[in-house]
Chain A
Amino acid sequence: MNNDSTISKGIDWMIVWLYTTLVIIGVMMIFANEYQEGDSIFQPVLNQSKDYGKQILWVCVCSVLAVFILLTDSKLFTATANLLYGLGILLCIAALFAGTEVKGSKSWLVLGGFRLQPSELSKVFTCLALAKYISRQEIDFNRTSSQVIAGVIALLPAAITIAQNETGLALVYFSFFLAMYREGLPPFILIMGASVGVILVLSLIFSPTTLFIAYGIIAIVAILLTRNQYKRNPLFLWSIVAIWAFASVMSSVVIPYGINHVMKPYQRDRIYSLVGKLYIPQNPEEQAELEKLKVKNRGKSQNQSEYNVIQSKIAIGSGGVLGKGYLKGTQTRYDFVPEQRTDFIFCTIGEGFGFVGSFVFLSLYAIMLFRIVVIAERQRSTFSRVYSYGVASIFFFHIGINICMTIGLAPVIGIPLPLISYGGSSLLTFTILLFILIRLDADRHIVLR
């Protein structure tokens, strides 16, 4: 009893409850995906024949692990952060050279019957290592050299992951810039990075003319809103105009030129299909070439993502305001959306519970993110704060990109929805991330550095 009280002391129960709720929702959604009327419900859990059965096993494993993490001393994480980071990098390189190829990417290590994706776990290690580096006494994060080193720490695993052909996972590491921003990274890096990304995606989805008009409107509104500012500082006006010009040139000239003249037709086709759009070449020769290629590649599902996005949008859209109800979805229950238990799990929620259900579901995530930020801000040690922001950034990036890709707002890059998607690796990583955070937070009064 005594022991128990020491574990639970200082724990932020709100996060724990949110975690539990989301994991239960996840299992229910996977179940809804697989269950057919008349199937036995408990049999697959015992004999592990279905995915929801396996997920339940993983939930059990994660609960045990969570308790273990809560039982450890929070000093352990600061002490081993660099060591773990090095280990993570080594494992990633090992996977790159000695790994097994799964769906075209060499990111898996297979040891006996046990499969491990080091780049997934590396997220935790990188988060810890980054926190460790920034929290060092001698580091002044306002100095550019420190910022560069922090950037290298964050992006080294990303580079290896790109080499493993897991671009989606690699992009997650860029989210650490959000945490670094909180610690003093100049905002223009963040703005530039985000803007280029957003402009790129927008240019794919909308036509250059539409974007040109939209940018113009935004620029005018910005100028009107900040007219007091630029009266004092004319540079401000010019910077707005410069940004507007940059964005317009990017969307109307650079990106279309890059796509249409630098890339090969099949690459163009693939880029467009990432956002679920059909690429129709203007040039008849090109069209013929593309058709030939499509005939050649038929059955190899090169344009799988285009199909995925369309099916996913249909599934979510068919949910309407209130949804079809749990276990009533026609799209998600009959495998129309591929990979719907992993990357496209949000479709099940969208179809089954409609707009209202999705709203409530997103609110859970939003509350969780805000709670993590609140926790971060109440830390006395820089390490804990940076780590918390790191966790928030990873969660945010996963949630944002995953849901955006199911609703056709982001390219399909294949990253899971935290705590909901089927998959042991991903569930394990997010559990570790979150429970280290809870442990650090519980000890916030004693951890000072």
Chain B
Amino acid sequence: MPVLNQARQRVIQTIFIVVFLVIIGQLFHLQILPSKYTKLAKDNAITKKIVYPSRGIIYDRNKKPILDNVARFDLVVTPFQIKGIDTTTLCRILNIDTAEFRKRMVTSIIKNGRYRPSVFEPLVSPQLQAQLDENMYKFPGFDLNERPVRSYPFKCAAHILGYVAEVDTAIIRKSGYFYQMGDYAGRSGLEASYEKVLMGQRGIRFLIKDNKNRIQGSFDKGNYDTLPVAGRNLYSSVDVVLQQLAEKLMTNKIGGVVAINPKTGGILAMASGPGYDPNLLAGVQFRKNWGRMALDTARPLYNRAIKGQYPPGSTFKPLGALVALDEGLITPAYGYGCWGGYYACGRPVKCTHASRGHAATLRLALANSCNSYFCHIFRMAIDNPAYSNTTGGYLKWKEYMNSFGMGVRLGVDLPSEDYASIPDTSRYNKDFGARRWRSCNILTLGIGQDRMTATPLQLANVMCIIANKGYYYTPHFIDSIQSERIDDTLFLGKYRRKHEVTHISDDAYNAVQLGMQDVITSGTAQNAMIPGINICGKTGTAQNPHGKNHSLFVCFAPRENPQIAIAVVVENSGYGSTWAAPIASLMMEKYLKDTIAERRMAEVERISKADLIPSAIKHWYYVKDSIRQAKLMKALDVIVPPVEPPAVVVPKKTTFDPEAEPNRKDSGELSIERSPIILPEDEKNKKDSLKQ
């Protein structure tokens, strides 16, 4: 028996040893063999937190900040830490009731869990913040977190500046996963173009966290942290006062305005109607407003100054003259006997004037905007015997246009600029058959109609070329970048390079400039005159398939030493001289004389108050409003009599050239009464029908 017992004692001890050896073996495997667990531990406990720098500021040409950052505070709450807080006091300060308080708590627990902070009240006002600061000790678990938000002190230049918003998956993928979910980035305008400059350099903090992702402190006393570098500032050419005026004048209008300094190519003002207050898309406001604005049929987010494609109409005529002069087809003294229309191509193109000698010279023809004259010289250019056929002549003409910046992207420093259209020969080959079209087929190109379109920016740039007599700088907003680096200089280089346009002689420019000056002094735009300044301008009244004519005006001033070139387009508002010319004139006066004369202040008010939104868009708003109202009423279960709708005005396409026939009376729109819109009962969504 003792032998057996001896043996069994040994067996038990052996079992002990074996188990301990197995444990040691597994420990060896875990702790010494692979480094996988060390790495996992690091991922587990150390978190990289990105510290966002404040974005750069954009200044105007007088070093006034057009946009700024304000520090706002979010009231955040960590639900598990709140114990015995003074709920009533907090509710009183925030002006909410306890039911709302409870609701928000539940929401934040659902969203982020009990252990992570979530926003309780975003972007509290400064007064509220002061009040909260004082009482913060009463509310453990609550905290105020700083967050910089864009603010726009001048409430203008929304289309230029763009907006900052949370990135989406497409942007993240495009950036090569540089951005992360929840990051903010410039999404349009200068914010997007100069994103790399404005955003600065992110810092990284290494923090230790616990199993619930709560931050416990910095890792190794912050030795591995990198500090954020604030975004660099941008100095733009925008004149904020002029910008405000332009936007004021464009209220309740659809269209675009561009003002450029021809000497530098710096854009002084750019407005697009309808505009919006950029503060509407800053911070918390973004989520509230963006969707509504994006769906608005008037498209307030759409920058018509660089994206709107408008037929230039008569504003194109100076270019037609320059082409003809340069090709040696005419001299400034060349005249054309206009009898009130151009009859050489079958269906006549009407002209405003029928009196003899209104197109006796180029200068007169420009001043009076003679359609016949410019149709004639356009045909001369196309049928120029120097080129083999119509196509050859057209291609040469197109080359001229492209060198003037028409039909090509100019390369302004805003995203998604449009190149509008100088039609390609293929378009006409398709319409008429190859080599079967003649100058008569494309006649109205000569007066800026047909398939030709241009953006307001291109039109303003053409004015710069004429003002400078043959060169331009690519229009741009940003003159310089704070502490410019080599890559910035390379980027801005294209805005500092002079573009020579095909060597047209100064004489040709002089002739055109004189003609354009006469437009103001004795021609179609006498209401644009500013005493003491020689303005060169050209009106345009462009026919379009969307309704009433577009009102256009292009100009530059002063003639001797050009300071400003402007292009104005007001959609569906009639003659160029009615709306576009005074807008440009007021802007020039403001810029060149610093103030608008007292007697013209009334005109500023008159124009800014004029409502030129086409009735179709108004009707859309009316439908939206009544649907909303109907829904609201249904929700409230109140029976209301249907609201009498306003008389619906149906726009009608103008069928004649109004500049050619000024005496013909046609408002361009027909007023039609429509029966009130009553929403039919939606049977499909009724509960009873669902049951069946």
Interface residues of A (CB under 8 A from B): 36-37, 178, 181-182, 184, 187, 311, 313-321, 330-331, 334-338, 350-351, 354-355, 358-359, 362, 365-366, 369-370, 373, 377, 389, 392, 396, 400, 403-404, 407-409
Chain B min CB distance to A137 (Å): 17
Binds A, one of B18-26, B182-190, B457-465, B512-520: B18-26
Decide: A358 and B9 in contact? CB cutoff 8 A.
no
Decide: A404 and B23 in contact? CB cutoff 8 A.
yes
Given A182-B5, A373-B12: A362 in contact with B41 (beta carbons within 8 A):
no
Query: B622 interface residue, CB < 8 Å from A?
Result: no
Chain A min CB distance to B208 (Å): 6
Decide: A335 and B212 in contact? CB cutoff 8 A.
yes
Interface residues of B (CB under 8 A from A): 4-5, 8-9, 11-13, 15-17, 19-20, 22-24, 26-28, 30-32, 34, 36-38, 40-42, 44-46, 208-212, 216-217
Given A330-B45, A350-B27: A396 in contact with B19 (beta carbons within 8 A):
yes
Decide: B210 and A334 in contact? CB cutoff 8 A.
yes
Decide: A319 and B216 in contact? CB cutoff 8 A.
no
Q: Which of B19, B27, B45, B210 has the most CB of A within 10 A?
A: B27
Extra contacts, 6 of them, besides A335-B210, A337-B211, A355-B31 (Cβ < 8 A), are A181-B12, A330-B44, A362-B20, A400-B23, A404-B26, A409-B26
What are the 10 closest A-B residue pairs judged by CB atoms, nearest first? A317-B37, A318-B41, A334-B210, A330-B45, A317-B30, A355-B31, A336-B211, A335-B211, A407-B26, A400-B19
Residues of B near A330 (CB, < 8 A) are 41-42, 44-46, 208
Chain B residue nearest to A178 (CB atoms) is B12
A389 to B28, CA, bound (A): 30
Cross-chain contact of A334 among B15, B31, B45 (Cβ < 8 A): B45
Chain B residue nearest to A340 (CB atoms) is B211
Residues of A near B46 (CB, < 8 A) are 330
Given A336-B44, A336-B45: A396 in contact with B16 (beta carbons within 8 A):
yes
A358 to B31, CA, bound (A): 10
Given A36-B216, A178-B15, A366-B20: A354 in contact with B31 (beta carbons within 8 A):
yes
Given A355-B28, A409-B22: A317 in contact with B212 (beta carbons within 8 A):
no
A112 to B353, CA, bound (A): 111
A318 to B39, CA, bound (A): 8
Decide: A369 and B16 in contact? CB cutoff 8 A.
yes
Residues of A near B24 (CB, < 8 A) are 359, 362
Chain A min CB distance to B653 (Å): 59
Chain A residue nearest to B39 (CB atoms) is A318
A389 to B13, CA, bound (A): 11
Cross-chain contact of A319 among B16, B20, B31 (Cβ < 8 A): B31
A195 to B45, CA, bound (A): 39
Decide: B22 and A331 in contact? CB cutoff 8 A.
no
Chain B residue nearest to A37 (CB atoms) is B217
Decide: B23 and A362 in contact? CB cutoff 8 A.
yes
Decide: B23 and A317 in contact? CB cutoff 8 A.
no
Cross-chain contact of B38 among A320, A396, A404, A407 (Cβ < 8 A): A320
Cross-chain contact of B32 among A182, A184, A321, A408 (Cβ < 8 A): A321
A109 to B595, CA, bound (A): 91
A318 to B9, CA, bound (A): 38
A319 to B28, CA, bound (A): 11
A358 to B27, CA, bound (A): 8
Residues of A near B45 (CB, < 8 A) are 330-331, 334, 336
A389 to B12, CA, bound (A): 10
A369 to B31, CA, bound (A): 25
Residues of A near B4 (CB, < 8 A) are 184
Decide: A318 and B22 in contact? CB cutoff 8 A.
no
Decide: B31 and A316 in contact? CB cutoff 8 A.
yes
Cross-chain contact of A320 among B32, B210, B211 (Cβ < 8 A): B32
Decide: A407 and B27 in contact? CB cutoff 8 A.
yes
A404 to B19, CA, bound (A): 9
Show 16 A/B contacts (Cβ-Cβ < 8 Å), sorted by A. Answer: A314-B37, A314-B44, A316-B31, A316-B37, A317-B34, A318-B40, A318-B42, A320-B32, A355-B27, A358-B31, A365-B20, A370-B16, A373-B9, A403-B23, A404-B22, A409-B23
A338 to B211, CA, bound (A): 9
Given A316-B37, A407-B23: A377 in contact with B28 (beta carbons within 8 A):
no
Residues of A near B208 (CB, < 8 A) are 330, 334
Residues of B near A392 (CB, < 8 A) are 12
Residues of A near B42 (CB, < 8 A) are 318, 330
Decide: B8 and A182 in contact? CB cutoff 8 A.
yes
Chain A residue nearest to B217 (CB atoms) is A37
Residues of A near B216 (CB, < 8 A) are 36, 334
Chain B min CB distance to A348 (Å): 13
Chain A min CB distance to B103 (Å): 21
Residues of B near A178 (CB, < 8 A) are 12, 15
Decide: B211 and A182 in contact? CB cutoff 8 A.
no
Residues of B near A331 (CB, < 8 A) are 41, 44-45
Decide: B9 and A407 in contact? CB cutoff 8 A.
no
Residues of A near B36 (CB, < 8 A) are 317
Chain A residue nearest to B23 (CB atoms) is A403
A235 to B27, CA, bound (A): 39
Decide: A320 and B8 in contact? CB cutoff 8 A.
no
